């Protein structure tokens, strides 16, 4: 394989409703899309880098810079046998996983299209239907939270995750547990607490949560290990796990019992699969996280979720939860049972709508 050219585009999409986490409130997204032309087919990827460095250090701007000035020079004129080699080719660049993940996933899509098979089969996926949960942002009132949860349960979603932060934690969880005694419920703090807050976090244990996601510092494995020893509820790590080595350290330290894998956070399919395989061998369940992706990133999350050890419902949901109009065809739909049927078409299995993508592009750069 050889990549003849890549096209970077920044698209802007307004969210159907604002999304609030402990690190900020979003009313829309700016995403960097990568289109890779390889031997007559094009593959698509999406960088999940945010507008600012608040979830992780990368931003749309840093991803653009790294793709143009460092990744493309490594890939230009380079022959490789398969997308599985990209991760090693990009190894001289330290970090910048979201930039790497965008191009790496695009090349996997291109390879699957060349072979005329679905991407999920190319990566070794084992299921053609994936279970789905939802991530619900911090709401201004408890009434709004309850009605949102009601609506998502009615749509079929199999587990509910709510975002929490200090002052908006015990009460929302208690309210939901009273109102919905039997649902699968979890919380995500996006690093809003510190270890001395542990007695407060321990109060959440009264509400039978499936897990508490990323309660402490974004790169603080040691404190999570301390906290996990004080809690019965499993800790799930998100932000902390940006490499295979961090995943191994987290497991060995006892810093978590579950891991959320995001393609962009770890740098693509190859590191995602490595972390997945490690977790499988250590009986650590994984699930696929989301980053408010457009249809392109969403399609990749669906493919990734077909790997065997993705045994818990992920944050992979219908296009319409976030977008009035998505950029792929068909849009992602969720069944009344709260599952997504994995598409059988080649590559990511959805067709990027180039006309619409061009229309909402704020900038574009072709590298060849
Ligand atoms: O921590 O999982 C997270 C969105 C943006 C940044 C971080 C996170 C999230 C979500 C949304 O929880 C998941 C989704 O795409 O539905
Ligand atoms: Mg999270």
On whether both 100 and 134 belong to a single domain, the answer is no
346 within some domain: no
CATH code for position 89? 3.30.390.10
Helix, coil or strand: residue 153: helix
163 in catalytic set: yes
Give the up-direction half-sphere exposure of residue 317: CA atoms within 13 A in the CB hemisphere.
23
Q: What is the pLDDT of residue 160?
A: 98
CA of 25 to the centre of ligand 1 (A): 12
Residues 156 and 334 sit within 8 Å (Cβ to Cβ)? yes
> Do residues 70 and 128 both lie within one domain?
no
Structure tokens at 186: 């979890």
CB 138 within 8 Å of CB 22:
yes
85 part of a folded domain:
yes
The reply to whether ligand 1 has any atom less than 6 angstroms from the CB of 247 is no
Query: Which segments in the chain show pLDDT lower than 70?
Result: none
| Residue 294 to residue 331: CA distance in whole angstroms | 10
Number of domain units in the chain: 2
Residue 347 resides in a domain: no
Shared-domain flag, residues 219 and 305: yes
Per-residue burial over 138-170, b = 16 or more CB atoms within 10 Å of its CB, e = otherwise = bbeeeeebbebbeebbebebbbbbbbbbeebbe
Do residues 101 and 153 share a domain? no
Are residue 309 and residue 361 in the same domain, yes or no?
A: no
Q: Is 279 helix (H, G, I), strand (E, B) or coil?
A: helix
The predicted pLDDT at position 306 comes to: 98
CA dist list (Å): 23 to 65, 218, 273: 24, 11, 28
Its domain, for residue 263, covers 122-341
Do both 81 and 177 map to the same domain?
Answer: no
Mutate to test the pocket of ligand 1, among 16, 315, 332 (most ligand atoms within 8 A of CB): 315
Is residue 305 domain-resident?
Answer: yes
141 found inside a domain = yes
Q: Whose CA is nearest to atom 7 of ligand 1?
A: 291
Ligand number nearest to the C-alpha of 16? 1
Residues 258, 241 share a domain:
yes
Q: Give the CATH number for residue 157.
A: 3.20.20.120
Residues in the chain: 368
Dihedral sign of CA atoms 223, 278, 316, 239 in order = positive
Task: Show the CA angle centred on residue 324, arms to residues 19 and 151, nearest 5°.
Answer: 60
Distances (CA, A) of 129 to 160, 198, 316, 334, 344: 19, 38, 12, 10, 11
Residue 354: closest CA among 269, 293, 295: 295
The residue to which tokens 């959320």 are assigned: 260
Q: Are residues 76 and 145 in the same domain?
A: no
Question: Do both 28 and 138 map to the same domain?
Answer: no
Identify whether 55 is part of a domain.
Answer: yes
Say yes or no: 111 and 126 in one domain: no
- E strand intervals along the chain: 3-21, 24-38, 41-47, 129-131, 133-136, 159-163, 185-188, 212-213, 235-237, 258-261, 286-288, 328-329, 339-341, 351-352, 361-367
Is 262 assigned a catalytic role? yes
Together in a domain, 112 and 128: no
217: which DSSP letter?
Answer: -
Domain-embedded: residue 259: yes
Q: How far apart are CA 75 and CA 110, in angstroms?
A: 15
Distance 21 CA to ligand 2 centre (A): 9
Token output for 241: 């796990």
CA 181–ligand 1 middle distance (angstroms): 25
Closest-lying ligand 1 atom to the alpha carbon of residue 134: 16
Same domain as 245, residue 142: yes
Would you give the DSSP letter of residue 67?
I
Does the beta carbon of 290 sit less than 6 angstroms from any atom of ligand 1? Answer: yes
Question: Which ligand 1 atom is the nearest neighbour of the CA of 19?
Answer: 4
Pocket test for ligand 1, best of 133, 290, 319 (most atoms within 8 A of CB): 290
Check 100, 161, 163, 168 and give the catalytic one: 163
pLDDT for 288: 98
Which residue's CA is the nearest one to ligand 1's atom 12?
135
- For helices 170-179 and 142-154, what crossing angle results, to 10°? 50
Q: How far is CA 17 from CA 44, 136, 138, 321, in A?
A: 26, 11, 12, 9
The reply to whether 70 falls in a domain is yes
């Amino acid at each position: 394989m050889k990549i003849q050219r890549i096209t970077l585009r920044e698209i802007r999409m307004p969210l159907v409703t604002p999304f609030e986490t402990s690190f900020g409130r979003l009313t829309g997204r700016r995403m960097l899309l990568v289109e890779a032309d390889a031997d007559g087919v094009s593959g698509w990827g999406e960088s999940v880098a945010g507008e600012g460095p608040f979830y992780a250090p990368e931003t749309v701007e840093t991803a653009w810079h790294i793709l143009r000035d460092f990744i493309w020079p490594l890939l230009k004129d380079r022959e490789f046998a398969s997308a599985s080699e990209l991760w090693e080719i990009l190894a001289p660049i330290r970090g910048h996983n979201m930039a790497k993940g965008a191009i790496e996933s695009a090349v996997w899509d291109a390879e699957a299209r060349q072979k005329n098979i679905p991407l999920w089969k190319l990566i070794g996926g084992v299921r053609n239907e994936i279970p789905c949960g939802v991530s619900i942002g911090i709401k201004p009132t408890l009434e709004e939270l309850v009605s949102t949860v009601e609506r998502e349960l009615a749509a079929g979603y199999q587990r509910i995750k709510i975002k929490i932060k200090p002052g908006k934690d015990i009460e929302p969880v208690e309210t939901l547990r009273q109102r919905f005694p039997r649902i699968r419920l979890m919380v995500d703090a996006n690093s809003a607490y510190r270890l001395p807050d542990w007695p407060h976090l321990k109060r959440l244990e009264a509400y039978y949560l499936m897990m508490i996601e990323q309660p402490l510092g974004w790169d603080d494995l040691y404190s999570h290990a301390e906290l996990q020893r004080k809690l019965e509820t499993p800790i799930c790590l998100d932000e902390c796990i940006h490499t295979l080595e961090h995943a191994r350290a987290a497991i060995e330290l006892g810093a978590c019992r579950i891991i959320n894998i995001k393609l962009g956070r770890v740098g693509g399919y190859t590191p995602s699969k490595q972390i997945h395989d490690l977790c499988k061998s250590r009986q650590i369940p994984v699930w696929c996280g989301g980053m408010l992706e457009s249809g392109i990133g969403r399609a990749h999350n669906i493919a990734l979720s077909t790997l065997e050890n993705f045994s818990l419902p992920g944050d992979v949901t219908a296009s319409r939860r976030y977008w009035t109009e998505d950029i792929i065809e068909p849009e992602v739909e969720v069944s009344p049972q709260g599952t997504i049927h994995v598409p059988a078409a080649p590559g990511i299995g959805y067709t990027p709508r180039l006309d619409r993508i061009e229309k909402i592009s704020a900038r574009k750069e072709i590298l060849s």
